[in-house]
Amino acid sequence: MVAKVSGLKIHCSQANLQYRIIHSRMTRLREKGGPADAMSKAASEGIVESAKALLDTLDKWSLSQSAIPQIKRIQVSHLLLTANTTLTAQNGDTAYRHMIEISLLTEILSIDKSDQKVQNAVRSTLELCSQMSQEPISLLWPLLTAGAACIGDENRAWVRQLIDVFRPFYCQDLEVAVCPISCAHNWS
């Protein structure tokens, strides 16, 4: 999905690539000097600025996405697939955008999971995963990222419900991927 923002084209995979570059640079810094030292080095090496610039880009992308009219379901069978596919792609890209936002805020900028912006992104991701739970699109990473960052029993129960709904689509991959969330939230 490509969104036009102020004359720039932003592609979901490009944003994901930018995040991965920022994340790998930060990981290398943490490996060299520890977490506390990494933040000061990250600031001096421009990693923090890169993360903030990507967050700003994602915010602009979000605003441009909200200006796109939602596609209504069309009753003609051959058009129904086209309309739903476009909406599914839009929602899938938005779920991944929120996943990147959660990761940038918590992993790169060291913002606490309880921060309102983090929890808003968590809820938005869970809402999109819920809306698209029967669609054949890979939302495993957004679900797991939101699940790891969610706080509160209600959100954790929501994550568990979505994991149960996704189980038929992901089989054993889901079981392995859920282990870190299960441990973090003390699920049995």
For position 123, what pLDDT does the model report?
A: 95
Count how many domains the chain has. 1
**0.85 exceeded by pTM:** no
For position 68, what pLDDT does the model report?
A: 41
Half-sphere exposure of 128 (CA within 13 A, CB side): 26
Q: Which two tokens stand for residue 19?
A: 């995040």
For position 47, what pLDDT does the model report?
A: 83
For position 2, what pLDDT does the model report?
A: 42
Mean pLDDT of 127-143: 81
Closest-CA residue to 125 (of 95, 103, 161): 95
Mean pLDDT of 79-92: 56
pLDDT band with cut points at 50, 70 and 90 for residue 80 = very low
What DSSP state is assigned to residue 137? S
Is residue 149 over pLDDT 70? Answer: yes
Containing structural domain, residue 8? 2-184
| β-bridge pairing 8-11 and 2-5 | antiparallel
Report the alpha-carbon distance of residue 74 to residue 71 in Å, rounded.
Answer: 9
